[in-house]
Structure 1
Amino acid sequence: MKKRDTLILGGIAAAIALGGAVFFTNSKVLAQYRGKYPPIVQKLVDKFGLNTTEVDKVMEEVQAERGTRMQEMQATRHAEIETKLTQAVQDGKLTEDQKTQILTKIAEMEPVQNRAAETEGWFNLSAEERQAKMDEMRDAREQRRAELQAWEDSLGVDLDEILGYDIFGGYGGHGGRGGFGGGQGFKGMPSQNTLSN
């Protein structure tokens, strides 16, 4: 019995790792599911009569692993941005001071863009509570986006032109969840926000 539960929990972890990322990147889907868990996990819990405490532990482990991967991706992204900014300084498109200000702003923003941390503990919320939290997050992102655009304008540079994508764009779009593309897609590509409106 214990071995069977271990195998099933391992299967749940694999299902979450493979399908959970897609599920949780779409905030509309996240808000709409009614159970404690994503539908696929809830079906496994119901079908095999799993201990929900154990399932909660697995869900939290998977979420922690996702957070670690996000940190690794942010480090790679930061290095690529720094390389492009250095090239822009060499090409005369930026001053060294502007580059420093941009890198400082990026460092300030990285903790804010950590969606895994923002959604920690959401498994225990009702659909209405999740929706309220997502509405708060969306409003905060929109406010940050407006502030960052004003900051970029005051700096006198077009980061979209220099980097090839909108670094402070937010969630969704080509980069998804604040990744490359910053939610706005690469130059010339429509963002997810544009497509869904």
Structure 2
Amino acid sequence: MVVRAVSNPLALAVLACLWERPMYPYEITTTLRERNKEDSIRLNFGSLYAVIKALEKNGFIVVDRVEREGKRPERIVYAITEAGDRETTEWLRELLEAPAKEYPAIETGLSLLPLLPPAEVSHLLRARLASLDRDIAERERSTQAALLQRLPELFMIEFTFKLAMLRTEREVIAGYADSIDAGTLGGQQTWAQMHRLLAEGHSKADVLRRLGEIVDGEVSSTA
């Protein structure tokens, strides 16, 4: 994995806009929003200016010209450099070719799931499913509208990818919730016992000691 001088994904979006033609910052923002890139790239005006300054500092973009219309403030128009052009294509190739370790919030939540009791986790996962269902339904409607407008698939590709990822997440989360409700998730009995003991007033240290003995005994019996 290449360590990039400017690694914020918004920087790549800026470079992609300037790859087309010189633009001023507000025009870059408008272009990204018109193309619905906010769904895949975190965009805010404050971050945009910081990214632009970083790209300029590293020689990927330069000031092309300064414009002024009437009494309006000056507008700085930026253009991509040859180095910026190379950075854009190399960065894009890397993103498409090499899987990168990402840290989705749901993955963090699932990794710490035993801290909450099973019934509460099930309730929270069911609430997440409801949110996912609403998101998926809205995206499906948008996809159909786009198809009716006969937009080429190329211009919908990140949208359909996101929809596929949401559907997969929904399937997996539903499976976890169903297993918890049925009491069939591996290790759930120990997990439930931990929270029963905590609810009875046992200390965390005592509960963890007991559970450690139970787990050690289960491992020994299967060895």
Report the TM-score, using the length of structure 2 for normalisation: 0.28
Higher strand share: 2
Greater Rg by CA: 2
Report the TM-score, using the length of structure 1 for normalisation: 0.30
